[in-house]
Amino acid sequence: MKRILVTGGTGQIGSELVPALRQKYGSDNVVCGGHRRNPDPELAEGGPYEVVNVANADEYVDVVKKYGINVIYHLPAILSAKAEENPMGAWHVNVTGLINALEIAREYKCSLFVPSSIAAFGPSSPKWKTPQDTIQRPQTMYGVTKVTGELLCDYYFLKYGVDTRGVRYPGLISYKTLPGGGTTDYAVEIFYEALKNKKYTCYLKKDTRMDMMYMPDALKAAIDLMEVDPSKLVHRNAFNITAMAFTPEELVLEIKKHIPEFEIYYDVDPVKQGIADSWPDMLDDSCARQEWGWNPEYDLPTMVKDMLEKLSKKLG
Ligand code: AKB
């Protein structure tokens, strides 16, 4: 029987992954591990909830022992833009926290899901259809921690046989919990502003193409990869996955189909623009498709329609 811990459980991915896992495996079998953000009642009362600072190994181990955990989804991370403001803080959360997870997974024989990101690539990686295995020389601290994480996960599998698995997420779009401090965050903020104020000022240039995904597909990727028979996996960690790639201008055109009066302005943030320019436009996800049947459901039009419907209900 799976006994699951989701660390970073109150974050953008975790706050939706926890309910999805509870529905699939039973509420009592999925522990939500939160830290910085206060959990909403669904997370804190819909099943076990614990405070876990992943950079504190003792706190992490205690929860794993208390619930007899055998599967960990390790999600906490300081995202790209925030990591540039505090590089050592990002290293501490993103790498020290991960090493704690890997050591615990080794000792307590847990399977471990670890997300990487498009940020693991840099300006010298091929930009379009970025291959699964290619040059990785990121120029952001977030990217450096993500490449380090990918290598550590490979190492713990090869050296100790730890069942590590993971994907490289593009920018994630969701209506439930806001991301915090990423470069792709505009693609979430724009929906709130379109519904509330009918206008948005974007911090990226209008033709900045980036790889993106709607949250239901991101959850499906994490759950499916952890379910697949590992003998099918040639790669284990850091699978490229993608669903759509668009520019702010293209996203605006799609939103305008639903809210014609919506207006966009641009006020470029040079730090975020530099980060975005250093990342791929779109990944090649053929290895994930071949090895574990990855296939996203949402494209730009279906994501925009669903996002506006769900968010307008949420905002009332
Ligand atoms: C960010 O913008 O930092 C993240 C990511 C692409 O990993 N959303």
Q: Annotated catalytic residue: which of 60, 67, 73, 142?
A: 142
242 in contact with ligand 1, CB cutoff 6 A: no
For residue 185 the two structure tokens come to 């965050």
**Domain check: are 202 and 272 in the same one?**
yes
Residue 237: φ, ψ to 5°: -110, 155
Q: Specify the pLDDT at position 288.
A: 98
Flag residues of the chain having pLDDT under 70.
none
**Which residue has its alpha carbon closest to ligand 1 atom 8?**
171
Q: Specify the pLDDT at position 245.
A: 98
Q: How far apart are CA 254 and CA 302, in angstroms?
A: 10
Is 0.80 topped by the overall pTM?
A: yes
Q: How far apart are CA 158 and CA 136, in angstroms?
A: 20
| Ligand 1 atom at minimal distance to the Cα of residue 80 | 3
Q: Specify the pLDDT at position 179.
A: 86
Range(s) of the domain holding residue 311: 172-211+243-281+297-315
**What CATH number is associated with residue 152?**
3.40.50.720
Q: Specify the pLDDT at position 310.
A: 97
Q: Specify the pLDDT at position 80.
A: 98
Does the annotation count 186 as an active-site position? no
Per this entry, what is the length of the chain? Answer: 316
Q: Is the ipTM of this complex over 0.95?
A: yes
Ligand 1 center–CA 13 separation, angstroms:
12
Q: Specify the pLDDT at position 38.
A: 83
**Domain check: are 68 and 88 in the same one?**
yes
**What CATH number is associated with residue 267?**
3.90.25.10
Residue 115 domain-assigned (yes or no) = yes
Q: How many CB atoms lie within 10 A of CB 229?
A: 7
Neighbouring residues of 274: CB distance < 8 A, sequence distance ≥ 6: none
**Which residue has its alpha carbon closest to ligand 1 atom 5?**
171
Residue 289 domain-assigned (yes or no) = no
**Mean pLDDT taken over the chain:** 97
Q: Specify the pLDDT at position 35.
A: 87
Residue 292 domain-assigned (yes or no) = no
